[in-house]
């Protein structure tokens, strides 16, 4: 099983407003996208253990026009509140890199 990091052309995170964080997985080919879109590793249930969050908080959207998958969940700390680690949310993608697809 390949790692996500070896299949995707972009794996990024960014706030979707200060209360939510969103992860974009973009793929270079239709084949890579389809393989990832079918993978049980990229379902809310599987991702709940990766992010230590309830599956019900995690929304996964397949976006075939852009060969991309989006994962969105509420932030655990509101952006910029005391104790936040990443105001823009742009460096939270690391836990996804090693996923087996």
Partner 1 sequence: MNAVGKLLSRRPSSLRVLSASGQLGYGIPEKALQAGLARRPDFIGCDMGSIDPGPAYLGSGVMATSPAVTRKDLALVIKAARSLDVPLVLGTAGTSGAGPHLDATLEMIRSIAQDEGLHFRMASIRADIPVERVAKALAANQLAALGGTLPVSLADLQSCTHIVGQMGCEPFDRALHLDPDIIIAGRACDTAIFAAIPQRLSFDMANVMHMAKIIECTSICCEPGGRDAMLATLNASGFELESMNPDRKATPLSVAAHSLYEQADPLTFTEPDGTLSVENARYTAIDNRRTHVTGATWEHASQCTIKVEGSAPVGHRAVLLAATADPRFIQALRDLLREVETTTRALVPGKYDIFPRLYGLDGVVAWPAAGAAPPREVFVLVEVIAPDQGLALAAAKTFKQFLLHQGFPRRLCTGGNLAFPFTPPELAAGPAYRFAVYHVMPVDEHETLFPVHLENV
Binding-site member from 11, 16, 46, 55 for partner 1 (CB under 8 A) = 16
Q: Does the footprint of partner 1 cover residue 20 (CB under 8 A)?
A: yes
Residue 69 and residue 39 in contact, taking contact as beta carbons nearer than 8 Å: no
Q: Does the footprint of partner 1 cover residue 14 (CB under 8 A)?
A: yes
Q: Which residue number, 40 or 83, has a Cβ lying nearer to partner 1?
A: 83
Binding-site member from 44, 48, 55, 63 for partner 1 (CB under 8 A) = 63
Q: Does the footprint of partner 1 cover residue 87 (CB under 8 A)?
A: yes
Nearest by Cα to 59 from 35, 24, 32, 84: 24
Question: Cα–Cα distances in Å, from 87 out to 44, 50, 57, 81, 84?
Answer: 24, 21, 20, 8, 7
């Amino acid at each position: 099983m390949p790692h996500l990091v070896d299949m995707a052309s972009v794996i990024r995170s960014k706030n979707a407003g200060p209360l939510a964080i969103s992860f974009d997985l973009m793929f270079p080919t239709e084949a890579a996208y389809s393989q990832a879109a079918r993978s049980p590793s990229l379902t809310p249930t599987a991702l709940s253990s990766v992010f230590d969050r309830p599956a019900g908080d995690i929304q996964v959207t397949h976006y075939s026009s852009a060969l991309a998958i989006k994962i969105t969940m509420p932030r655990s700390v509101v952006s910029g509140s005391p104790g936040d680690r990443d105001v823009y949310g742009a460096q939270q993608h690391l836990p996804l890199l090693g996923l087996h697809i």
